[in-house]
Amino acid sequence: MIMYAAFGLLTAAIAAEVAATAALPRAEGFRNPMWSGLVIGGYALSIWLLALVVEDLPVSTAYAVWSGVGTAAIAVVGVLWLGESLDAVKVAALSMIVLGVVLLNLQGAH
């Protein structure tokens, strides 16, 4: 697989994971079958795509990007659509996550 294709799959894996995580509140502790199915399906799709990605990218880099970008993205989703608050500590913590992902990718590029 071409490197660009791997990053495309990684982006899709992140999107599936973020969508599944955003759906968690609606799953109502897995008592709502439709939303629960979307959560489980989203996580399953995300892990399957991540498994494909690590065939071509180092697992440490792929997982760091998947988890770091996913964490930052769900924090943004939480603030914009789920009514969560945003403060300086949260912004600083998310900035450190993104910086860590960037540094890992730069290190892997050498």
Encode pLDDT of 7-46 as tens digits: 999 999 999 999 999 999 999 999 999 999 999 999 999 9
SS3 track for 46-57: HHHHHHHHCCCC
Residues 6+ apart with CB under 8 A from 20: 38, 39, 40, 41, 42, 43, 46
The boundaries of the domain holding residue 45 are 3-108
Encode pLDDT of 38-76 as tens digits: 999 999 999 999 999 999 999 988 998 999 899 999 999
Confirm if 53 and 45 have CB atoms less than 8 A apart.
Answer: no
Split at pLDDT 50, 70, 90, the class of 109 is low
pLDDT at 1: 62
pTM: 0.87
Residue type at position 5: A
